[in-house]
Chains A and B, each alone.
Chain A
């Protein structure tokens, strides 16, 4: 098979490992970004542990290693924008400010969950925060986000829609229908592909002739950009430009953020024995391109953070999550009548 790596350096884990350039972002803003990413990572880690201890049973697709994309893009969105996720969406939900306790309770399948314990990890929602829902059918929410953009266009209030999907979804026909319609009808939607180079167990190399999925945007005359998804400053800056463009021009845009997931397709396992390229060596290299570490080290270097204050951030977040987990364990399962009561609207 003729495969060409158009992403070149972006997929080399030995590049982009240095502390990120902080430009003139304020200390407060940088700490906010750091806390957001740590929160996402720690929740994902805790969920992974709870799967191993059999406290959590539902399939959980963890985004450890990919935190910067959701955390960075959400900085340029408001709760009036319409954000849609996929099977791996804890990060998207949390980045938008989705209720932490309700997410944990949902993963436990409890009534206190954001979906009343009806959805679990793969079906989460917090509409007040702009997170309109996630579902696991690959590419499932892409046209739905395009429809939310159509609604936003009708509303004329300058809101936009965002859909997060992976490189696997770019192999679904629905992406192309959605790109075509969004482009032909000038709809304000940001397509975000978190290209982590794997769909389930399979390397993009043996699924597509190129690893650069934003080539599909080009075919539909949608402006696109490729970024290092593990550099949160780049994510914030580049998505800001794109989102401003979408709001101003009322046109779609496509952001390809290259990243890597540290864990397997589903569950806490590292999945180093699958695919044609995913080796322990690659994984170790990618862990060195850690978005949290790169931000933290840059902040320590420019003295906006100390090792001690970072440890405090970590322990505060860890403590908060543990409290939520304890409460979620105590929460009730959904009442039996909800099985039939929620099939149709009330």
Chain B
């Protein structure tokens, strides 16, 4: 049965499902008993499931992430919460050196079954250390899986698939998506290994690829272009590590144009990686136009609202870029 749900509530439904059905699931991180940190997405879970399973932790990103890894090696499926991705950098050793490597370097004898939920929380004049989208860093690391739900349904279902996966998974949601409302269907458990990028909108003129909040921008841009009789394939990556571009290859063979929108920086980033992975797998004459990536300007996030306005790409910016690079050319 379909029902209308907000993105932030869908995340909470994912937690409720996991905590109700799997005794080995618990969650730990800063701010879990406070409304300030993760909005409505975990509201009152501690009331429903107890403070022993919803653990509001000391201010120790690395220590807490390591502890969750340790618990995951002993039969549990912890979900660590980093309410802002910037602060998660303090836990990078435990994520990159430990969680990602444990299986490989110990011959597959031990797998950290850990999910690390990290929130991209930008805007509002928060400045350079409260605004980063560092998903590409973690997509660079073999051994991690990285998911970025863009739709309300995925906000819930990718969380469930992440936690039930036996590998370390970075689940990245975006505060700018929390009010998004969509109809979602009943829960069906899908193995994360089988979750692939998805075409959310069909069109034959241009392939638009993105993940997370950028997917919402792409959907809105595609709607705007549709009014001008330009039809886009909008592909939502959903999983960015391991990267699977097969569906994009199929799409660009039809549209012959590729534009990738990403909420991170360009250098060594997700947009560049997607374009490279596509162009090295197709014949040189498939694309009629140079591929385009739309990313953040090469600067840390600014504070002042006037600079924030030019910093984050919006629908108009993406629309103009597409018109300039693909249509009026």
Residues of A whose CB lies within 8 Å of any CB of B are 82, 84, 113-119, 123-125, 127, 132-133, 135, 137, 140, 142-152, 154-155, 161, 173-174, 177-178, 180-181, 184, 338, 341-346
Collect the chain A residues with CB atoms within 8 Å of residue B103's CB: 342-345
A127 CB → nearest B CB, Å: 6
- Residue in contact with B110 in the complex, picked from A125, A149, A154, A174, CB distance below 8 Å: A125
Q: Is B247 an interface residue (CB 8 A)?
A: no
Cβ–Cβ contact B110 & A342, under 8 A: no
Residues of A within 8 A of B75 (CB): 151, 155
- CA of A341 to CA of B143 in the docked complex: distance in angstroms? 11
Cβ A180 vs Cβ B105 within 8 A: no
Report how far A145 CA is from B63 CA in the complex, Å. Answer: 10
Q: Which residues of the partner chain A approach B66 to less than 8 Å between Cβ atoms?
A: 140, 142-144, 146-147, 174, 178
Residues of B within 8 A of A132 (CB): 73-74, 110
Residue B106 lies at the interface, judged by CB distance under 8 Å to chain A = yes
A150 and B97 in contact, given A178-B63, A342-B104, A342-B108 (Cβ under 8 angstroms): no
Look across to chain B and name the residue whose beta carbon is closest to the beta carbon of A177: B63
The 8 Å CB contact of A150, one of B67, B110, B143, B165, is B67
User: Chain B: residues with CB nearer than 8 A to chain A?
Assistant: 26, 52, 57-58, 60, 62-76, 78, 93-94, 97-98, 101-111, 142-143, 145, 165-167, 193
Least Cβ–Cβ distance between B146 and chain A, in angstroms: 12
| CA gap between A241 and B257 in the complex, in Å | 71
Q: How far is the CA of A343 from the CA of B71 in the complex (A)?
A: 20
Q: Are A119 and B107 closer than 8 Å at their CB atoms?
A: yes
Q: Are A151 and B70 in contact (CB under 8 A)?
A: yes
**Chain A residues closer than 8 Å to B143, beta-carbon distance:** 343-344
The A-B contact count (CB < 8 A) is 150
Question: Does B69 lie within 8 Å of A144, measured CB to CB?
Answer: yes
Are the CB atoms of B107 and A133 closer together than 8 Å? no
The reply to whether B145 and A115 contact each other, CB–CB distance below 8 Å, is no
Instruction: List 14 A–B pairs whose Cβ atoms lie within 8 Å, in order of A's numbering.
Output: A118-B104, A119-B106, A127-B109, A132-B73, A137-B97, A146-B67, A147-B71, A174-B93, A184-B58, A343-B104, A343-B142, A344-B167, A344-B193, A345-B111
The distance from the CB of A174 to the nearest CB of chain B, in whole angstroms, is 5
B97–A140 contact, CB under 8 A? yes
Asked if A181 contacts B108 (CB within 8 A), the reply is no
**Least CB separation from B192: chain A residue:** A344
Q: How far is the CA of A253 from the CA of B105 in the complex (A)?
A: 30
A235 vs B57: C-alpha distance when bound (angstroms): 34
A212 to chain B, nearest CB (A): 23
Find chain A residues with CB under 8 A from B74 CB.
Answer: 82, 132, 147-148, 151-152, 155
In whole angstroms, how far apart are the Cα atoms of A146 and B73 in the complex?
A: 12
**Across the interface, do A148 and B107 meet the contact criterion of CB distance under 8 Å?**
no
User: In the complex, what distance in Å separates the CA atom of A173 from the CA atom of B110?
Assistant: 26
Inter-chain contact B105/A143, CB cutoff 8 Å = no
Say whether B57 contacts A143, CB under 8 Å: no
Q: Which of B63, B101, B104, B111 contacts A181 (CB 8 A)?
A: B63
Residues of A within 8 A of B102 (CB): 133, 135
- Chain A residues within an 8 Å CB radius of B108: 116, 118, 341-342, 345-346
Question: Do the beta carbons of A144 and B98 come within 8 Å of each other?
Answer: yes
Closest to B75 in A: A151
Chain A residues with CB under 8 Å of B111's CB are: 345
Q: B93, A140: Cβ atoms under 8 Å?
A: yes
Which B residue sits closest to A122, measured CB to CB? B105
Specify which chain A residues have a CB less than 8 angstroms from the CB of B106 in the assembled complex. Answer: 115, 118-119, 123-125, 133
Q: Chain A's nearest CB lies how many Å from the CB of B106? A: 5
The answer to whether B107 and A140 touch across the interface, beta carbons within 8 angstroms, is no
- Distance A343 CA – B168 CA, assembled complex (angstroms): 11
A135–B107 CB distance below 8 A: no
When C-beta atoms are compared, the residue in chain A nearest to B100 turns out to be A343
Q: Distance in Å from the Cβ of A153 to the closest Cβ of chain B?
A: 9
What is the bound-complex CA distance between A125 and B70, given in angstroms?
Answer: 14
B138 to chain A, nearest CB (A): 14
| Whole-angstrom distance between the Cβ of A16 and the nearest chain B Cβ | 35
> How near does chain B come to A97, taking the closest CB pair, in angstroms?
16
Within the complex, what minimum Cβ distance (angstroms) separates A148 from chain B?
A: 4
The distance from the CB of B57 to the nearest CB of chain A, in whole angstroms, is: 7
